[in-house]
Structure 1
Amino acid sequence: MASRSLSLVPALVAAAAAIAVLGCAGERVGNGRGRGTVVIATAADADVLLPTLVQQLVAKQVVDQLFEPLAAPPASMSTVGDAGYEPRLAARWTWAPDSLSIAFAIDPRARWHDGRPVTSRDVRFSLELLKDPRVGAPLGESMSNVDSVSTPDSLTAVAWFARRSPEQFFTFVYNLPVVPEHLLAGVPRDKLGESPFARAPVGNGRFRFKRWERGKVIEVVADTANYRGRPSIDRVMWSVSPDPTAMWARLVNEEADVVEMLRGEPLAKVAASTTTRPVPYQGLDYAFVTFNTRARGRRQPPHPVLGSAAVRRALALGVDRQAIARNVFDTLAYLGIGPVVRAQWTADTAIAIPAHDAAAAMALLDSLGWRDLDGNGVREKGGRPLAFSLAVPTSSAPRRQASVLLQAQWKAIGADVTIEELEFNAFVERLMSGRFDAAMNGSHANPSPSDVRTMYGSDRTPDRQGGNFGGYASATVDALLDSAVHEFDAQRARSMYRRAYARIIADAAAVFLYEPRMVAGINNRIDPGTLPAVGWWIHLADWRIEPARRIARDRIPLDAPVAGGRGASPGDSAG
């Protein structure tokens, strides 16, 4: 193949020299040095800012501004071959005749934000880091087909593969975050998440890290000398809101510029606003209930209630997904179609997911010996009640609302469900440790359908760097997914993936609730261009604010000192 080239917003206060040019929050101002500030309101803080370890969506949004991949996938989200991929850190790449190696030519202009050049050694080091089990990288297992990276010279990184595979190019460039060897080589591999770098990273992207005040704000600023060109705006801030339901009000009041998902009354309010507008876009998000098939906090024995596939099927029959989607999103959600979203090329909207049937659910539980013997409304078997907890992150208002509906629906068939609300990081820790019964989970799907193997492969449990939090195991699913990821014929691969999806659904490994129809709220002064399905934030560096539409915070000079506090918003100024 040929070569191819997730309170009030902390204050953003200008330095004394800049105060004179600033007006009030919504005031349009004349000439000024700033090019724009975009404030993103978010309900959750980041987990870590070392891309090798990132699991949380807000963190992903931030590190994608700070770190460039070797190459960027096309808008079509094709994961087979390299057609349409755009150069990033790699100026071009060349396949070996046998396709078992790809030589990436590093752009000689690429620099880390401390001024050091990006080299092939950084690529080699990054792969070693990702694959090292001491690191515990969430995507480490994705590199199992990559043997190594060699460095014939400082600007050539050759990736060597164990075997040819349809997605080998995508897997390598999409899942490998390139990080600086000179800053991380001396950090113990099992302590990377606690390192200063994980809180204040040095990247190579079009934005550079400025600050992170935990629970308050993350700020990145333009890298004015970046080899790919200066961003069109000066800074981006992720501002954490203790009250997720109030985010839309901050948007309308111009305290924030972006809320990534709107629904119900907030959507109507934004649509009626003179300062903001709703912007539909295709997304990769979906929500589902994960059942823990193993004993809580252990990998063996089976869970006393949810370890039974038949019990899980009964619980799935007891869920009215249509009612949940309608109550939570009105018309702004599709029903879930399995461990896949409609934007992926393996999606099959015709896969049968059993419809809500409370009578059938109760009959199945009766047949399994789960009966309400004492008339208290809760079934039991062998002295054990049909009871379990449902963990839900407080950062997600839709999932919190859905959990209450689920609790009521399961009560109607005789299950006693306790809702356990957890701060997001605590929620993730519960999933990773297995210390949960069921969880209101959500996922931003990887463009590759092979990601389903990470979530449902028998050997992809968290202790093996996987995302199979519920410990689901099926030899049939394993075989289908293993065949699918190595199949070069797209039609045959699609068929295998769909058969795996059907089996996962039949085993009730999860209840696939809904796939939101994504609508963001964005301030009228901002031109975001097209929001890609792979991530609405991908092109933040190219968002534009025309000079005539800039407000006070847009005019804050890039080099001005920035302070943070809970008593003001970025729109506040001395004026």
Structure 2
Amino acid sequence: MSAAALLALAACGRDRPASGAGSGSGAGDVGGTLVIATAGDADILLPPLVASLQAAQITSQLFDRLAEIDSTMNTVGDAAFAPRLAKSWTWSGDSLSVRFALDPRARWHDGTPVRAADVKFSYEVYADPATGSPATELLQNVASVDAPDSLTAVVHFKSRRPEQFFDFVYNVYVLPQHLLGGTPHAALRTTPFARQPVGTGRFRFVRWEPNQRIEIVADTTNWRGRPKLDRVIWSFAPDPAAATAKLLSGEADLWEMLRGDAIGQVASKASLRAMPYASLDVGFLLFNVRGGMFADRALRRALAESIDREGLVRSALDTLAYVATGPAPRALDGKPHGAITHDLAAAARTLDSLGWRMGPDSVRAKSGKPLAFGLMVPTTSQVRIRLAVLLQEQLKQIGAKVTIEQLEPNAMMQRLGTHKFDAMLHAWHADPSPSTVRQSWGSAAANAPGSPNVAGYASRAFDALIDSAALAFDPAQQKQLYARAYDTLTDDAPAVWIYELRNFAGVHRRVRPAGVRADAWWAALGDWSIPAGERIARDKIGLRTASAR
């Protein structure tokens, strides 16, 4: 089914505006249970260590930043940010420090007041390489954080940069020093807190049943006001088909990744609607360039030349995805960046010149070693499983033998963490800033514990261009520098950028979404609502701890 037809289905019938301004939804209309189906469990609920989208969704409801970005996703300066834990902030005359005045009403869920010492402690946790946080690389321009009094936190920067406010505020969730301050940063991952967190958000943690569900409930006395929903439950499914089944059966109210026929099934079901939404997701083939055959740039480029990206996207996703323009999604950039052209003949010539000769079994070999490698793919992604099969066939034409390895998410994370893999079909959920590409491809993160740079890619030229772009105050110059950085990355071929999804979520019609942002559809989950007149049995559980059936 074409995207145009699916968009028409999503818009027809009893569809309601995403703003949630439908009948029966008033400011005082609170209550209801939202069950979110998701493929795979969360990895951890300690914000600095979160790697999975499931965990990111949940921790963002339990913890707060000092300020929150709005839907414009303008990362330059502070104009796009609204107060959260900080009620206000002021800049120094030289713009090398910003002074945050904390909201004195803010409390941790155990009743302890939020203090500036928590902000200072949080920065130290995120910035310490021993913690193993993916955000450490993004805080390199922060010199220090001071707490001159209990309600004032001062962030000092090494240099003036267009995105210095964003770099700190967006990447640091504030953590409770009184609960974690006595734990070595390297040991935070194994603390009970990492699975039973205490935050400041509008929801508080209730329970985590591994591989089954995580439940959070409204913090009714929250200083920012209680959320409109009573509770939110993430219901884990072993794969996307099972998650879709939960939605279609009524067991769940939302499934964020509808694909193929499921979109039509949802749109034709009276109780559900298909909701298109923007995203910052890019899917790609990633090589482990730390050693072995993929340390050879020429080999990687030859394999990239043998891949027909348009054919892959057309066969696996039809019109439900775009061919990727490069490492940055369209919403952040939109300009194609020197993709390596599909050319089987040129790829064959390069492989021959490198000594990879075709054998009688139609597999190339060099010095007795076959051109064979494993391709990891998560069991939770039907899209990437389909793409893996298609890639296997395309690469076979050039004489490469690909073995598909389907792994559960936790097993895949372990393999990535120990660098024991050849290649994988990966997906990156970008932050609003183009500079965050450093997380996945910057040299400083190549061997850091827990780093998103799982490929091990390192390039001084790329680093210099990204750093220069991040320092540029002129928008035109900044865009040009980012373009050159993306071209450098694409030319080196540590990955082959394949697709950007056109996202559709299946949502129960009684649910009124609000504040759906491209970087995080869940950002304003506390403002989602279910009108009293449309509630079903599980909406009437109230605030007591009980199973939602």
TM-score, normalised on structure 2? 0.93
480, 483, 486: which is aligned to 2:468? 483
Equivalent position amino acid for 1:235 in 2: R
Q: Does 1:316 align with 2:312?
A: no
Q: Does 1:337 align with 2:325?
A: yes
**Given the superposition, is the C-alpha separation of residues 465 and 450 from structure 1 closer, same or farther in structure 2, using an over 3 Å criterion?**
farther
1:172-208 deviations in whole A, cap 9, x for unaligned? 1001110000000122222111101000000000000
How far residue 327 of structure 1 moved from its aligned partner, in angstroms, is: 2.4
Matches for 1:97-496 after TM superposition, within 5 Å: 97-295=93-291, 303=292, 305-344=293-332, 347-373=333-359, 375-463=360-448, 466-496=451-481
Q: Does 1:547 align with 2:532?
A: yes
Structure 2: runs of 5 or more not aligned:
1-28
How far residue 473 of structure 1 moved from its aligned partner, in angstroms, is: 2.4
**Given the superposition, is the C-alpha separation of residues 287 and 350 from structure 1 closer, same or farther in structure 2, using an over 3 Å criterion?**
closer
Matches for 1:489-508 after TM superposition, within 5 Å: 489-508=474-493
Equivalent position amino acid for 1:325 in 2: V
Q: 1 CA distance for matches of 2:32 and 2:440?
A: 40
SS of 1:179's equivalent in the other structure is coil
1:274-293 deviations in whole A, cap 9, x for unaligned? 11111111101111111111
Residue of structure 1 in register with 2:12 after alignment: none
Q: 2 CA distance for matches of 1:448 and 1:504?
A: 17
SS of 1:514's equivalent in the other structure is strand
Q: 2 CA distance for matches of 1:453 and 1:389?
A: 26
Residue of structure 1 in register with 2:36 after alignment: 40
How far residue 138 of structure 1 moved from its aligned partner, in angstroms, is: 1.4
Q: 2 CA distance for matches of 1:490 and 1:556?
A: 52
Q: Does 1:514 align with 2:499?
A: yes
Equivalent position amino acid for 1:228 in 2: R
How far residue 132 of structure 1 moved from its aligned partner, in angstroms, is: 1.7
Greater share of helix: 2
How far residue 356 of structure 1 moved from its aligned partner, in angstroms, is: 2.5
Contact 2:40 2:239 in 1 (8 A): no
Equivalent position amino acid for 1:118 in 2: V
How far residue 352 of structure 1 moved from its aligned partner, in angstroms, is: 2.9
SS of 1:502's equivalent in the other structure is helix
Contact 2:134 2:439 in 1 (8 A): no
Equivalent position amino acid for 1:267 in 2: I
Equivalent position amino acid for 1:380 in 2: A
Percent sequence identity over aligned pairs: 51
Contact 2:138 2:438 in 1 (8 A): no
Residue of structure 2 in register with 1:562 after alignment: 546
Q: 2 CA distance for matches of 1:547 and 1:74?
A: 29
Q: 2 CA distance for matches of 1:440 and 1:201?
A: 32
1:14-63 deviations in whole A, cap 9, x for unaligned? xxxxxxxxxxxxxxxxxxx9811111111111110011111111000000
How far residue 530 of structure 1 moved from its aligned partner, in angstroms, is: 4.1
RMSD: 1.4
1:234-270 deviations in whole A, cap 9, x for unaligned? 0111111123213223212211111111111111111
SS of 1:105's equivalent in the other structure is strand
Q: 2 CA distance for matches of 1:309 and 1:189?
A: 37
1:420-440 deviations in whole A, cap 9, x for unaligned? 121112212222221111111
Equivalent position amino acid for 1:212 in 2: W
1:375-423 deviations in whole A, cap 9, x for unaligned? 1010011111111111111122211111111111111110011111211
**Given the superposition, is the C-alpha separation of residues 80 and 273 from structure 1 closer, same or farther in structure 2, using an over 3 Å criterion?**
same
Equivalent position amino acid for 1:220 in 2: I
Residue of structure 2 in register with 1:85 after alignment: 81
SS of 2:155's equivalent in the other structure is strand
SS of 1:219's equivalent in the other structure is strand
Equivalent position amino acid for 1:229 in 2: G
How far residue 107 of structure 1 moved from its aligned partner, in angstroms, is: 0.5
Equivalent position amino acid for 1:289 in 2: L
Q: 2 CA distance for matches of 1:277 and 1:118?
A: 40
Larger displacement relative to structure 2 (510-519 or 244-253): 244-253
Contact 2:71 2:515 in 1 (8 A): no
Equivalent position amino acid for 1:538 in 2: A
SS of 2:48's equivalent in the other structure is coil
Equivalent position amino acid for 2:521 in 1: W
Contact 2:446 2:458 in 1 (8 A): no
Structure 1: runs of 5 or more not aligned:
1-32, 296-302, 564-569
Q: 2 CA distance for matches of 1:88 and 1:358?
A: 54
Contact 2:338 2:491 in 1 (8 A): no
Q: 2 CA distance for matches of 1:99 and 1:275?
A: 53
How far residue 129 of structure 1 moved from its aligned partner, in angstroms, is: 1.0
TM-score, normalised on structure 1? 0.88
Q: 2 CA distance for matches of 1:134 and 1:487?
A: 31
SS of 1:52's equivalent in the other structure is helix
Q: 1 CA distance for matches of 2:305 and 2:382?
A: 24
Contact 2:377 2:424 in 1 (8 A): yes
SS of 2:161's equivalent in the other structure is coil
Q: Does 1:75 align with 2:61?
A: no
Equivalent position amino acid for 2:546 in 1: V
How far residue 211 of structure 1 moved from its aligned partner, in angstroms, is: 0.4
Q: 2 CA distance for matches of 1:79 and 1:239?
A: 33
How far residue 472 of structure 1 moved from its aligned partner, in angstroms, is: 1.7
Contact 1:334 1:516 in 2 (8 A): yes
**Given the superposition, is the C-alpha separation of residues 466 and 233 from structure 1 closer, same or farther in structure 2, using an over 3 Å criterion?**
same
Residue of structure 2 in register with 1:532 after alignment: 517
SS of 1:92's equivalent in the other structure is strand
Q: 1 CA distance for matches of 2:461 and 2:118?
A: 39
Q: 2 CA distance for matches of 1:479 and 1:395?
A: 36
How far residue 465 of structure 1 moved from its aligned partner, in angstroms, is: 5.7
Q: 1 CA distance for matches of 2:334 and 2:220?
A: 45
Contact 1:432 1:462 in 2 (8 A): no
Contact 1:179 1:203 in 2 (8 A): yes
**Given the superposition, is the C-alpha separation of residues 493 and 34 from structure 1 closer, same or farther in structure 2, using an over 3 Å criterion?**
closer
How far residue 141 of structure 1 moved from its aligned partner, in angstroms, is: 2.1
Q: 1 CA distance for matches of 2:176 and 2:414?
A: 28
| Count of aligned residue pairs for this structure pair | 521
1:65-97 deviations in whole A, cap 9, x for unaligned? 000110011211111100121000000000000
Residue of structure 2 in register with 1:566 after alignment: none
